[in-house]
A and B are shown apart, each in its own frame.
Chain A
Amino acid sequence: MLPYELIQSPSELRIRVNASSLEELFRRSLVAMFEIIEPDFAADATEVSHTISIKSADRDLLLIDFLSRALYLSDINDEAYFKVDFIRFTNNDLTAVISGNKITGFDVEIKAVTYHEVHIKEKDSIFSTEITFDI
């Protein structure tokens, strides 16, 4: 099972993420987003972390809101995140520490994480969803 795969789309960037748990799905989605943007790490690549709390109507929205928050923090702080520790995780709210490094830039600009066709499915203990990024 690949952690994520790219789906061809004419205008935006779309991925399918698979994981063995809901938490892992969120984690892999975060890592995928920051792998896709291909960050250039700063010379000292200082480690950084932020605690974030998100509350949403359901788990689909929670995933998008979680990624949007990470994208915002990345954009204003010039950082990329590849690690997440969940302090609290339910179907509609979470508190997490996301960690990563300072970057000098990245190759792909994700303008936003869209809500387009996000739908977390669970089948045979595998959680999966598609995520569409506006680029």
Chain B
Amino acid sequence: MDYSIPPHALKKLNDYLYEIPRSFRPDMRVPARIYVSSVLLKQILQDRSLWQIVNVATLPGIQKYAIAMADIHEGYGFPIGGVAAMAIHEDGVISPGGIGYDINCGVRLLASNISVADIKPHLKKLAHAIFLAVPSGVGHGGPMKLTTKELDKVLEKGAARLLELGLGQKEDIEYCEESGCYKGADKDAVSLEARNRGHDQLGTLGSGNHFLEIQVVSDIFDEETASAFGLKEGDVTVMIHCGSRGLGHQVCTDYVRTMLTELSSFNEKIIDRQLASAPFHSPQGQAYFRAMIASANFAFANRHLIGHRVREAFLSVLGPSVSLKTVYDVAHNIGKLEKHSVDGHLKELLVHRKGATRAFGPNSPGLPKNYRAVGQPVLIPGTMGTASYVLAGTKEGMDQAFGSACHGAGRAMSRHAAKKAISGRALKDELNAQGIEVETDYQRGLAEEAPIAYKDVEAVVDVIDGAHLARKVARLKPIAVIKGD
């Protein structure tokens, strides 16, 4: 099979946007649009991600465009860094592969009232305290073992259940997408296997690219919006990147299988079985949708509990005058029912974001009242040696990309190649030399996530800002990295 996209198939619409027209392949239902610069495009053309976004453009019910973000890279079925919105009242589908195995993988950002200068003498101790308080690493469970009944409550109520138990603060929920509880969960749609994998994983970080960082606000690009978000240059922040752990992985596994087995005729012609889908209103589509929501709630609760544990560590090391407030918490692997304008009409769509962050503009529904005038915080984790970004959603992003932006720097190198390029020890030394503390018990895993394994986050964010999908608010530089094995 020919996976290449010939250069002439890519039509440049402006400096940040290319299009593969519908005429490129007869099975495309909509064009594919790629938000990218000419420099990043060269990198992207080295893998099969654009061929994969063309495949997404063939799915039933897809509206306007299949969208690729600047951090796109090859995945399985869907590329990572893509958005696909399906019209649910016009035979649109839901695809578990379009949301990903790590359902509601996302980012929580907390802002402190302490400056980098004040934290420096305590940084090593603080990073170690967080490392001990937040279990991380492959398969590692946490101290909280949920009974079936208690897990059900988390699946239905998300982070709100933990607040009921006295864990966390009211504001943690207020400043979270869906207020930390995505409505419509069906606990009974979550298999026993998924429950077994997740029951001891609440409050745990996991492994791979998941991380926890202590950062400093190094640059402010938009004072008014930064102030609304509670961000001040020189102050310390904490970024948490993780998802629904084994529970979400199993839910995705279960429902891709269901769709391939029970809807084999419906999925007969798909080009890649990982693109398996179900009509949104079918029993299988609804069961997956409600299990996915339950998994998303588990992930919101997971980041909520980690945030709470980090706050406890801050208080224990730095004393009671320190505060740590949630700026926002947002998913980048999720399917959301949203209303967007299509051909001048508002339509209810299921927006698949796989490696793409919701980026709602000013006055969008569901935003905390402090953020309504400036737009939603869009949290873009970078790499441990470079920077992460806070952006704000825009009206243009709502119109162009269903209120979506990129989700990170985007991998450019395999984990194997990264480990060959740099040792964990050398990377740790390099980070230490930059003044970045590292807490991990597995240095080879650290090397897999080395900055060289990723695209240039500055270049990726510049595309998103230049295309007006979201605008730059602040740059955050890591001062301590906590990672599992």
Contacts and interface: CB of A to CB of B under 8 A. Distances in A.
Interface centre among B75, B76, B485 (most CB of A within 10 A): B76
B68 to A, nearest CB: 14
A6 interface: yes
B363 interface: no
B272 A117 contact: yes
A11 B73 contact: yes
Contact of B73 (A8, A10, A116): A10
Nearest to B256: A115
A112 B249 contact: yes
A56 B77 CA distance: 20
Given A61-B261, A107-B485, A111-B102, A75 B139 contact: yes
Given A8-B414, A8-B416, A115 B276 contact: yes
A10 B206 contact: no
Interface string B71-112: 001111100100000000000000001001110000000000
A127 B116 CA distance: 59
Contacts of A56: 261
A62 to B, nearest CB: 11
Interface string A6-30: 1011111100000000000000000
B411 A106 contact: no
Contacts of A9: 74, 414
Interface of A is mostly: loop
B440 interface: no
B138 A108 contact: yes
A105 B272 contact: no
A93 interface: no
Interface in B377-396: none
Interface string B228-267: 0000000000000000001001101100110011001000
Nearest to B199: A76
Contact of A106 (B138, B197, B249): B138
A11 B246 contact: no
A89 interface: no
B138 A107 contact: yes
B47 interface: yes
Given A9-B414, A10-B47, A12-B76, A107 B445 contact: yes
B261 A68 contact: no
B222 interface: no
B253 to A, nearest CB: 5
A2 interface: no
Contacts of A61: 257, 260-261, 273
B101 A116 contact: no
Contact-residue bracket for chain A: 20 to 34
Contact of B253 (A8, A12, A112): A112
Interface residues of B, number: 46
A61 to B, nearest CB: 6
A111 B196 contact: no
A114 interface: yes
Given A118-B273, A134-B101, A135-B415, A11 B74 contact: yes
A76 B416 CA distance: 27
B417 interface: yes
B252 A112 contact: yes
Contacts of A106: 138-139
B139 to A, nearest CB: 6
B364 interface: no
A111 B101 contact: yes
A16 to B, nearest CB: 14
B24 interface: no
A105 B75 contact: no
B257 A10 contact: no
Given A11-B80, A72-B250, A116 B207 contact: no
Given A107-B444, A112-B252, A134-B76, A10 B102 contact: no
A104 to B, nearest CB: 10
Interface of A: 6, 8-13, 37, 56-57, 60-61, 65, 68, 72, 75-76, 78, 105-109, 111-118, 132, 134-135
Given A12-B75, A109-B138, A114-B76, 18 more contacts: A9-B414, A11-B411, A37-B138, A57-B260, A61-B273, A68-B257, A76-B193, A105-B485, A106-B138, A109-B206, A112-B252, A114-B274, A115-B260, A115-B273, A116-B76, A116-B274, A117-B273, A135-B415
20 contacts: A6-B416, A12-B76, A56-B261, A57-B260, A61-B261, A61-B273, A72-B196, A105-B140, A106-B139, A109-B139, A111-B102, A111-B249, A112-B101, A112-B253, A116-B77, A116-B273, A132-B76, A134-B101, A134-B249, A135-B415
Q: Closest 8 CB pairs between A and B?
A: A116-B76, A115-B273, A116-B274, A109-B138, A111-B249, A10-B411, A114-B76, A112-B101
Interface of B: 47, 73-77, 80, 97, 100-102, 137-140, 193, 196-197, 206-208, 246, 249-250, 252-253, 256-257, 260-261, 264, 272-274, 276, 411-417, 442, 444-445, 485
